[in-house]
Structures are given as structure tokens and as C-alpha cells.
Amino acid sequence: MTAAVSKKTTERAAALRAQLNEASHRYHMLAEPTITDAEYDALLRELEALEGEHPELITADSPTQRVGARPSSEFASVRHEIPMLSLANAFTDDEVGEFARRIRDRLERNAPLTFSVEPKFCLPYSKCAVRSICREQASRNTTRWRALRRARSSR
């Protein structure tokens, strides 16, 4: 059983939930982010730690109890041929190793994996997604990309 939760800890958890929920709403619904991804992730990790130490602080509206937020209706829905897996905010070697383990489990293979990694160039307050493609698909997608670029440049 956990020790009694101090008023200060309870108030901090509530403040973190409110700040994270507001940031998520402003980002996903209003497209007006107020904090960077790194700031959001740091606050979320702090809340996760507090809730981990004191499970009684977990509430239904906690950002730790859901993935993402309802996107703005202005965004079109995209169906990926191959599901995109998330690094889940991997910041350490162990977390990246866990991501690789999840991929191996999903592929049902124990062979070493090879990754191609590029720097993430994003504007502040924006999210980017990177899609890696198996070699078998690379030529097909490269051909599509070149055709798309040609079509756009001919406009």
C-alpha cells in the first residue's frame, strides 16, 4: 500500500493534468500549441511518475489514461498500408531497445533489425511522423514519389 499522499503532491498532479489537457486541446483541436513536444513529454513523464508512486492520484481525465487526443475535424483521415509504430517517446538506449523488441515481436522474428535514421526537422510546436519502408516496397514508393514530384512541379 502506498503512503498517504501529501496535499502538495495531490495539487501538483492536478496541475499537471490540467496543463497537459489544455496543451493537448490547443495542439489537437485549435492548432495553436503553447508548449513544445519536449516540454509536453517532460510534464507527462512527471505525471506518470507521480501516478506510479501514488495510483490513487490516477483520474479518468488523466493524459496517462489515453493515447493522443481527438484530432481536429480539419484533418483528413489517412489509412496506412502498413501500420505505423510509435517510438513512444523513446529517449534512452533502453527505450529504443524496447521499441526494437516490439517490432521483432510483431514481425515474429528474432534476427537483428537494421534502421535508417534521419534527423527530425520540425518547426517548433509541430509533430512529425516518419514512415520507414521495407526494401521490397522502396522501389515502388520511390517511383510514386518521383511521379508525385513531377506532377507537382508541372503545375
Same domain, 59 and 91: no
Q: Does the residue 146 lie in any domain?
A: no
Q: Does the residue 81 lie in any domain?
A: no
Residue 61 belongs to domain spanning: 7-65
pLDDT digits (tens, 9 = 90+) for 90-99: 778 888 888 8
Question: Which cell is 71 given?
Answer: 484530432
Number of domains in the chain: 2
Same domain, 12 and 50: yes
Asked about 127 being catalytic, the answer comes back as no
Instruction: Give me the chain's average pLDDT, please.
Output: 76
pLDDT value, residue 69:
66
Q: Does the residue 135 lie in any domain?
A: no
Q: If pLDDT is split at 50, 70 and 90, which confidence band does 144 have?
A: low
Q: Which residues of 116-150 are buried (b: 16+ CB within 10 A; e: fewer)?
A: eeeeeeeeebeeeeeeeeeeeeeeeeeeeeeeeee
pLDDT digits (tens, 9 = 90+) for 35-81: 988 899 899 999 999 999 999 999 998 999 887 666 667 767 777 77
Q: How far apart are CA 48 and CA 1, in angstroms?
A: 18
User: Out of 7, 8, 120, 127, which one is annotated catalytic?
Assistant: 120
